[in-house]
Structure 1
Amino acid sequence: MATAATGSVAHVANASGATMPSGAELIARARAMVPVLRDRESAAIAARQVPAQTIRDFIDAGFFKVLQPKRYGGYEMSPAVYCEIARTLAEGCMSSAWVYGVVAVHNWQLALFDPQAAEDVWGDDGEVLISSSYMPMGKVTKAEGGYRISGRWAFSSGSEHCDWVLLGANMVAEEGGAPEPFNFLIPRSDYQIIDTWHTMGLCATGSNDIVVDDAFVPAHRVMREKDMFNIDVPGKHANPGALYRIPFAQIFNRTVSTTSLGSLRRALETFVQATREKRATYTGARLAADTTIQEAVAEVKVILNDMELRLKSDLAELDARAEANDWPIERRAELGHHTTSMVNNCVKAIDLLMLFSGGKAIYLGNQIQRAFLDIHCARAHVANNPYPYARNVGAMAFGYENDCMDL
Structure 2
Amino acid sequence: MTTATSTEDFIQPFDVSALESAGIPELPLDRETLRESLLTAIDRVRPTLEGDAEANDVTETLEWSSVEALYHEGLLSLKVPRELGGPEVDPLLYLELIDELSYINTSAGWCAFINSTSTALCGAFIPEAGVGRIFPGDRMPIASGALIPRGLATPVEGGWRVSGRWPFASGSAHSSWLLAGFRIVRDDEPGPEHMIMACPVEDVQFLNNWQVMGLQGTGSRDFVVTDYFVSEDMAFDLPTTDPRKGGPMFWMGRPGFVTPDHAAFALGVARRALDEISLQAGSYQRGYLASPIGLRGALQHDLGKCDQQLRAARALCREALEDAWEFCLRNERPDLESQLRLRGACVYATDIACQVATTAFRYGGGNAIYNDRVLQRCIRDINAAAQHFMVNTSAYDNLGQFRLGMANVNAMG
TM-score after normalising by structure 2: 0.86
2:120 is the alignment partner of 1:108? yes
Describe how 1:236-385 pairs up with structure 2 within 5 A.
236=243, 238-239=244-245, 241-325=247-331, 327-385=334-392
Distance 1:371 1:141, change over 3 A: same
The SS at the match of 1:38 is: helix
| Partner in structure 1 of residue 202 of structure 2 | 189
Aligned length: 383
* CA distance in structure 1 between the aligned counterparts of 2:52 and 2:25, rounded to whole angstroms: 34
The change in CA–CA distance for 1:178 and 1:141 in structure 2 (over 3 A counts) is: closer
Aligned position for 2:82: 70
SS state of the match for residue 165, structure 2?
strand
Residues 39/313 of structure 1: CA separation in 2 closer, same or farther (3 Å cut): same
1:28 corresponds in structure 2 to 40
Unaligned runs of 5+ in 1: 1-15
Distance 1:254 1:162 in 2: 22
Percent identity reads: 22
In structure 2, do the counterparts of structure 1 residues 177 and 192 end up closer, same or farther at CA, with 3 Å as the change threshold? Answer: closer
Task: Give the counterpart letter for 2:153 in structure 1.
Answer: V
The residue type equivalent to 1:333 in the other structure is L
Q: Distance in 1 between matches of 2:95 and 2:64?
A: 22
State the one-letter code of the partner of 1:283.
Answer: L
CA 1:289–1:373 in 2, change beyond 3 Å: closer, same or farther? same
- The counterpart of 1:56, out of the listed 44, 53, 68, is 68
**Do the aligned residues in 1 keep the contact of 2:183 with 2:190 (CA within 8 Å)?**
no
* 1:220-240 Cα distance to aligned partner (Å, 9 max, x none): 22222321xxxx42xx3x426
**Which shifted more, 53-62 or 238-247?**
238-247
- Secondary structure, aligned partner of 1:90: helix
Counterpart Cα distance in 1 of 2:370 and 2:76: 35
Displacement, 1:30? 1.4
Aligned with 1:396 (options 390, 399, 402): 402
Residues in 1 aligned to 2:39 and 2:347: alpha-carbon distance in whole angstroms = 24
Q: Check conservation: 2:182, 2:194, Cα contact below 8 A.
A: yes
**Given residue 242 of structure 1, which amino acid in structure 2 is its aligned partner?**
P
Unpaired segments ≥5 residues, structure 2: 1-23
Residue 180 of structure 1 deviates from its aligned partner by: 4.0
Pair 30,402 (structure 1): closer, same or farther in 2 beyond 3 Å: farther
1:44 aligned residue (56, 75, 96):
56
Equivalent pair of 2:343/2:411 in contact (CA under 8 Å): no
Q: For 1:133, which of 142, 146, 149 is the aligned residue? A: 146
Q: How much is the aligned-residue C-alpha RMSD, in angstroms? A: 2.3
SS in 2 for 1:399: coil
- Closer, same or farther in 2 for the Cα pair 1:137/1:65, shift >3 Å? closer
Q: Which amino acid aligns with 2:338?
A: R
Q: Distance in 2 between matches of 1:76 and 1:286?
A: 46
| Whole-angstrom CA distance in 1 between matches of 2:186 and 2:138 | 32
Query: Match for residue 111 of structure 2?
Result: 99
| Range with greater deviation from structure 2 (202-211 or 133-142) | 133-142
| TM-score when normalising by structure 1 | 0.88
Q: Amino acid of the residue matched to residue 373 of structure 1? A: R
C-alpha contact (below 8 Å) 1:173/1:180 kept by paired residues: no
Which shifted more, 291-300 or 31-40? 31-40
